[in-house]
Chain A
Amino acid sequence: MTSKEKDATSLGSTRPVMSPDLIVQIPQGIPAKEMSYQEAIREALREEMLRDERVFLMGEDIAKHGGAFGVTRTLFDQFGPERVRNTPISENTIVGAGTGAALAGMRPVMEIMFVDFSGLAMDQICTQAAKLRFMTGGQCKVPWVLRMPQGGGAGKSTAAQHSQSLEVWFAHIPGLKVVLPSTPYDAKGLLKAAIRDDSPTIFLEHKFLYSFRGLVPDQEYVLPLGKCDVKRQGKDVTVVTSGAMVWHAMVAANILAPKGISVEVVDVRTISPLDEDTIGASARKTGRVVLVAEACRSYGATGEWGMVVVEQAFDYLKAPIMRVTGRFSPIPFADSLEKGVWPETDDVVRAIQRTMAQAH
């Protein structure tokens, strides 16, 4: 377990370095600042805590220390120990107490240090918080946000228990919302939305995107939950993806454009509830779909996205739906084994090319 933040602006592959210009989400002329994904999350927390005194933070080492990944730095100084609370190592009760506080009218934002630790809190997340509103026939609501870093990067060597992508664990539970932003702009806007949303929301942050930079508007903004974002328009093939993989898809698209292949990149953003309409419209438009996810292959999000494509766009498919995913394996430590565990830009490029080759 490391609390050091890596400053590299690559996802650990040897492919081109991701630059802020790769994903442009704000029109020219809008006053904006360049900041990192990590800073954008902090700004969202700060703004929402200023806006609503019911919002408070709970988690391990988040107070003076600023959190294992430095996300909550400076917030303790600004808001004090009551609203930025260090907890004992009690993941289940961090979430359970957060749930209780939410039932009693607060709006906690809890942090579990790594999504890999969420197993300890699954009862409170999935069996309690997700279902309380339903079981009580609407007598209560649980307006919390649970922030958890996830994901891995080739060469980062965070190994089996600190590298997983587990969005589907939560996406499978009715009552929870699950968000996975890919850019600073999305991270800030979606976290604000999640904090203001009255349902329990899992907010997954890719730990190796923390240092990625992008423009964030000066003016306050909130992005909608439950909506995909088409990061790049194209007409030949649709890539449906999320999280760090969005960056690989964007680089792949740039590599293929001069070769005459026009790639549309759909960033899912909210894993659950899924914006099926945007995915369907894109699939119908291009007729060719490549699904890219970091999480391991079997029973991952690509299965869900693939079926959505079938349901929404079967009659428009010109080629079989393809997917590029993580290897179905615990994540190894050694470089030689870790290599290839996650999709690289090349994998996405090749998958797109294969799809194009099959099309009629």
Chain B
Amino acid sequence: MEVQKELLLEMYRRMIRIREFELGAMDLFKRGQVKGAVHPYIGQEASGVGVCMALRRDDLIAGTHRSHGHTLAKGADTKKMMAEILGKETGYCKGRGGSMHIAAFETGSLGALAVVGSGIPLAVGAALAFKMRGEDKVSVPFTGEGGSNTGNWHECMNMASVWNLPVIFVLENNQYAVSTRVDTVIKVKDLSLRAQGYGIPGVRVDGFDVVTVYEAATKAVARARRGEGPTLLVTESYRFEGHYAGEPEVYRTRAEVEEHRKLDPIPRFHKYLIDNAKASLDEVNAIDTEVKQEIADAIEFAKASPPPDPATAKDYIYA
């Protein structure tokens, strides 16, 4: 599949954007300026970007607690995202959601839901709505391998398949659910085999290769838009940071992490672009610089923004 240069550069930009955003968020967290917790997507950028680049703005994604990456990949604004993480009025959720509940409806992101698996039915329901209204939109619930053990996931795979809904179930196998390694909680090694039980296609790709992910996603999206129903897309990846920023990762070795860092999708893609003459070094460096500035601006904006007014504390409880 020949991918246009603009698209490739945009993929690079989005991956860098996620990387820099996560680094910035982690830094703020370490300085005590971000409350609660942040769950960095570092190392998984190719998975989220590869999928979201295959979607239209009006397609919907539903995320998890680790969804800064998904939401940014779908095109969300870094200022509003950073402001939300800092709990400011100018954040996407007006400070009401925080890191784990960022929703950017204007760019088709239904929200990060922190109960593992809970976002999947929302995506399925949205797909139902699209189908009922005869629209060709698709919806994409993201989950990890841990989430694929929940009742939610199985009920949704079943319902979406039997009703033939336009859903792409993306399963990002980052190998760890907090401290629990995948092989201790799932019997099959190839998670895409789970699709067979539901009568839908299952595809498994290298989650560190953004173009491969993009290609697989594009196929699945096309299938869905044609009305042929859901696909399970498994991306094999790895979580470089702890489950949350600052976690003492006692459950895995430094060596294991370092081994996987060698697979870092960003330098890999950088190399790909240059080696295959898809872009010049200047173009790529320019993107690096712009994105770094963009994140710095977002942090400035977030810090300077006001917190929500306590007088509005009871807003949005009811519609």
Contacts and interface: CB of A to CB of B under 8 A. Distances in A.
Q: How large is the interface on B (under 10, 10 to 19, 20 to 34, 35 or more residues)?
A: 35 or more
Interface string B281-319: 000000000000000000000000000000000011111
Contact of B130 (A83, A104, A128): A104
Interface in B83-109: 91-97, 101, 103-106
Interface residues of A, number: 45
B316 A137 contact: yes
A319 interface: no
B49 interface: no
Name the residue among A133, A142, A177 with the largest chain B CB count within 10 angstroms.
Answer: A133
Contacts of A108: 125
Contact of B121 (A82, A97, A140): A97
B212 interface: no
Contact of B319 (A82, A137, A198, A273): A198
A137 B94 contact: yes
B159 A88 contact: yes
A90 B125 CA distance: 13
Given A128-B113, A135-B111, A100 B125 contact: yes
Contact of B318 (A56, A83, A102, A199): A199
Contact of A175 (B115, B163, B317): B317
A199 B105 CA distance: 18
Contacts of B128: 97, 100-101, 106
A99 B93 contact: no
Interface string B28-65: 00000000000000000000000000000000101000
A138 interface: yes
A82 B128 CA distance: 10
Contacts of A138: 94, 315-316
A93 B156 contact: yes
B205 interface: no
Nearest to A56: B132
Name the residue among A124, A135, A273 with the largest chain B CB count within 10 angstroms.
Answer: A135
A248 B101 CA distance: 46
A92 B113 CA distance: 15
Contacts of A136: 92-93, 96-97, 101, 103, 105, 111
A134 B129 contact: no
B92 to A, nearest CB: 7
Contacts of B316: 133-134, 137-138
B313 to A, nearest CB: 10
Nearest to B319: A198
A133 B113 CA distance: 13
A141 interface: yes
B211 to A, nearest CB: 30
A90 B158 contact: yes
Contact of A88 (B101, B103, B158, B315): B158
Contact of B159 (A93, A137, A177): A93
A100 B317 CA distance: 18
Interface in A91-142: 92-93, 95-106, 108, 123-124, 127-128, 132-142
Contacts of A133: 316-319
A87 interface: yes
Nearest to A138: B316
B124 interface: yes
A141 B122 contact: no
Nearest to A106: B129
Contacts of A149: none
Contacts of B158: 88, 90
Nearest to B151: A92
B118 A128 contact: yes
B118 A139 contact: no
Interface in A237-260: none
A143 interface: yes
Contacts of A92: 121, 151-152, 155
Given A96-B120, A137-B94, A177-B318, 7 more contacts: A88-B159, A97-B121, A100-B121, A123-B115, A128-B115, A136-B111, A137-B316
7 contacts: A88-B162, A90-B159, A93-B121, A133-B317, A136-B97, A140-B103, A198-B319
What 4 A-B pairs have minimum CB-CB distances, sorted nearest first?
A100-B125, A96-B121, A137-B94, A198-B319
